[in-house]
Structure 1
């Protein structure tokens, strides 16, 4: 459950590379575009459509042909957005990198989950010119937040069900969820189970990789690749599905269909003081730290997709 390859980075963070500086600037622009207008969800449906249009435009600008998975809830249409880089030697094996773009009712959703949605865009930008051995898919999911969480109307479950119906071979799913808040204050990090306080750091300055037992191999592979290439604190955890928080994102949908999936997160409510509030604004996101994490995920995806 807790033993992970490599060691979490400790110490002063190095200066951003030029690439990370560019990623940081782009992440800021995207989060501000996603969350700057306020709530975007089934209540603020027009704003949700504006966010959808922005994401589709960004992916198109990166050179992709966007596939729209549309479905109805009542008389309203909701849409998952997907772009793909076909794999070469191992093209039947699919890696999904996804995040939800809706905000919870009552919040503009900058960190939850503008940070994740923007990270998907940044990774799609980075990998657009590459030639992976395995197929890469970048997906922006709708309707992760209540009242759709853990229901058949959750966008990622709609997507995962279709993948299963098509007999697609998804070998890894990375759910990018609430990734942009970090604190160097001791005691800033809490956990859903008291026992974990004695195992993991109590300072919320790390990125977490969380999976269930069936996804344990994927957690370890991802943590190893991240720690090998990235000077940023990281923790990995393999938890039962029933632990509060372990399945609180789109990777849960893939678990339901028998696919391995993990969540990449700053741990959300267990660290972020503005979780699901009106104060979850773009100003609360640490874009430099988020850029370091995105840079580390570039190395992770290169490892997963067999890119030299």
Structure 2
């Protein structure tokens, strides 16, 4: 459940490269647009949610993707999942999904939850836009992850995953990017569900890969790739869903359709003191470390999809 391949990086973080500095700028620029200019975005702030969807579609289009808007109705409101795709050259029937939810909880600008995941998906899509892959690669931004839709038929990722199953699509792996921008070097900044406090560092300066027991191999493969390629602290676990937080994002929806899926997270409420609060603002994000995580995820995704060029 807990032992992962490789070793978490524990040294001094290397300086950002020029390309990483540019990525940092783009992440900050896009997050400002999403969490400051647009701000709270959900069913009760519907116009802002629509603005967020249009902003995401516009960014995808900049990278020459054809954006597919999967629409569905809830109480006379239209909600959208937004998808772009790179068709695989050799194993196109095997699909890797990289996704996040772009809505925020009520009365919250959602900079970290889940603005960070949203803009990370956008920038990963940009990085892969001129690459060819062996497997099919999809980037998807989901609506309605937050209450009152969480774990309901109207959760955006549930609508999406159910449609994939109905179409008999073979999703090889799904990565849910959930709240990935907050890090602390303070001892005791990292909390744990009961029973795990003796297994992980109590300083919240690492990224986490987590899923359920059925997806242990997926977690091991992903964190092994991250640790091979990236000098940044990382932890992983495959746990029974009874542990708090294991299933609290869009990967849960893919589990319901028997698709392999995991969550990449800074552990949200187990570390982030502003989780689901009005203070979840852009000034809380550690953009240097956030950038390093996105760079590492690019390398993990490249391993999973088989980059050809």
- Indicate the residue corresponding to 2:164 in structure 1: 163
TM-score by length of 2: 0.98
Instruction: Give distance in 2, aligned partners of 1:290 and 1:299.
Output: 15
TM-superposed CA distance for 1:152, in Å, is 0.3
- Indicate the residue corresponding to 2:93 in structure 1: 92
Instruction: Give distance in 1, aligned partners of 2:17 and 2:242.
Output: 40
Instruction: Give distance in 2, aligned partners of 1:289 and 1:303.
Output: 22
Query: Any idea what the Cα deviations from partners look like across 1:85-137, whole Å, max 9, x if unmatched?
Result: 00011110000000000000021000000000000001000000011000000
TM-superposed CA distance for 1:140, in Å, is 0.3
- Indicate the residue corresponding to 1:46 in structure 2: 47
- Indicate the residue corresponding to 1:102 in structure 2: 103
Instruction: Give distance in 1, aligned partners of 2:75 and 2:183.
Output: 39
- Indicate the residue corresponding to 2:19 in structure 1: 19
Instruction: Give distance in 2, aligned partners of 1:135 and 1:296.
Output: 20
TM-superposed CA distance for 1:242, in Å, is 2.1
TM-superposed CA distance for 1:74, in Å, is 1.2
What secondary structure does 2:33 align onto? Answer: helix
- Indicate the residue corresponding to 1:280 in structure 2: 280
TM-superposed CA distance for 1:297, in Å, is 0.6
Instruction: Give distance in 1, aligned partners of 2:17 and 2:284.
Output: 22
What secondary structure does 1:198 align onto? Answer: coil
TM-superposed CA distance for 1:19, in Å, is 1.5
TM-superposed CA distance for 1:12, in Å, is 1.1
- Indicate the residue corresponding to 1:133 in structure 2: 134
What secondary structure does 2:197 align onto? Answer: helix
Deviates more, 1:33-42 or 1:196-205: 33-42
Instruction: Give distance in 1, aligned partners of 2:285 and 2:76.
Output: 35
TM-superposed CA distance for 1:307, in Å, is 1.6
- Indicate the residue corresponding to 1:80 in structure 2: 81
Query: Any idea what the Cα deviations from partners look like across 1:204-229, whole Å, max 9, x if unmatched?
Result: 00000001111111100000000000
- Indicate the residue corresponding to 1:149 in structure 2: 150
- Indicate the residue corresponding to 1:207 in structure 2: 207
Query: Any idea what the Cα deviations from partners look like across 1:16-61, whole Å, max 9, x if unmatched?
Result: 1112111111000111111113211000000100111100000000
Instruction: Give distance in 1, aligned partners of 2:10 and 2:257.
Output: 37
- Indicate the residue corresponding to 1:180 in structure 2: 181
What secondary structure does 1:59 align onto? Answer: helix
Instruction: Give distance in 2, aligned partners of 1:20 and 1:135.
Output: 26
What secondary structure does 1:139 align onto? Answer: strand
- Indicate the residue corresponding to 2:226 in structure 1: 226
Within a 5 Å distance, the mapping from 1:185-264 to structure 2 comes to 185-193=186-194, 195-264=195-264
Deviates more, 1:10-19 or 1:148-157: 10-19
Instruction: Give distance in 2, aligned partners of 1:123 and 1:182.
Output: 21
Calculate the aligned-residue CA RMSD, in Å.
0.7
Q: Segments of 4+ in structure 1 off by > 6 A?
A: none
Instruction: Give distance in 2, aligned partners of 1:62 and 1:283.
Output: 28
What secondary structure does 1:196 align onto? Answer: coil
Instruction: Give distance in 1, aligned partners of 2:204 and 2:121.
Output: 23
Instruction: Give distance in 2, aligned partners of 1:8 and 1:19.
Output: 24
Query: Any idea what the Cα deviations from partners look like across 1:234-259, whole Å, max 9, x if unmatched?
Result: 00100112221000000000000000
TM-superposed CA distance for 1:161, in Å, is 0.1
